[in-house]
Structure 1
Amino acid sequence: MDKHYGQIVEYRVRKNGYSISDLARSIHVNRRSIYNWFNQTHLKKEVIFQIGCVLRHDFSQEFPELFVSEDFKIVKNKSFKQIPDVNSEYANVENEMYKTKYVSLLEKYNELLVSAI
């Protein structure tokens, strides 16, 4: 019987109590992509690895045909903070970009209101 990779990954995500939104943000995809992955029978090795890094989970136990324990050595390291730091910086830059666009639109709107009077 074939493994359903998506279901195995989903089980681990939910068992760890990790938010789908946080997971999507961490690997820079939308939530719909995560749910689509959960429905796929086979997932790319890279996708499973990224999710494993975010969850700090060694998927070599569930997928010995894809990974060896050494692949997730960085995940086992308790000082591994790379993904959350990168994502928080990315989120801050993205938020600042949208804030700037919003202020610019408000200024243009105000100018239009003043010129219409």
Structure 2
Amino acid sequence: MQKHHGQIVETLIRKKGFSITALAHHSDVSRSMVYQWFNKEKLNAEIIQRIGRIIDHDFSQEFPEYFSKQTNNVYDHRSREVLRSNQSRVNVWKDKYINLLEQYVQLLSE
């Protein structure tokens, strides 16, 4: 039985609780393209490795045919660090927005 690459990748993304929107944004593709990846039985190594860097997952266990022994030992976590810093910036702006909304509601009620 042949493994379905798209389903394996989708399962791991959802298990990690990673947003499809965030994955699409950081992959520079549309959400519909991400869903097309999920439906593909065979994904190329570049897509799998790119998704792995974004969601901070080493796919060498699931797809050993796409990873050489040298690649298995060296895994780049820099992409995930960029995501974390971007997410913290988003949270700062979201908090400011919520504070402004609360102040606005309070002014309206007075």
State the TM-score bracket (shorter-chain normalisation): 0.5 to 0.7
Q: Give the drift of 1:58.
A: 0.6
Q: What is the TM-score of this pair, normalised by structure 1? A: 0.63
What letter is aligned with 2:55?
L
Matched residues in 2 for 1:68 and 1:29: separation? 27
Alignment of 1:98-109 (within 5 A): none
- Helix, strand or coil at the partner of 1:21: helix
Report the counterpart of residue 3 of structure 1 in structure 2: 3
Q: Give the drift of 1:66.
A: 1.4
Q: Does 1:85 align with 2:86?
A: no
Q: Percent identity?
A: 43
The verdict on how the C-alpha distance between 1:21 and 1:64 changes in structure 2, with shifts beyond 3 A counting, is same
Moved over 6 A (4+): none
Q: Which structure would you say has the larger Rg?
A: 1
Matched residues in 2 for 1:50 and 1:42: separation? 15
The verdict on how the C-alpha distance between 1:84 and 1:30 changes in structure 2, with shifts beyond 3 A counting, is farther
CA contact (8 A) 2:23 2:54 kept: yes
Report the counterpart of residue 17 of structure 1 in structure 2: 17
Alignment of 1:1-117 (within 5 A): 1-68=1-68, 70-71=70-71, 73-75=74-76, 80-82=77-79, 85=82, 88=86
> How many corresponding residue pairs?
84
Please give the root-mean-square deviation of Cα atoms over the aligned residues, in Å: 2.1
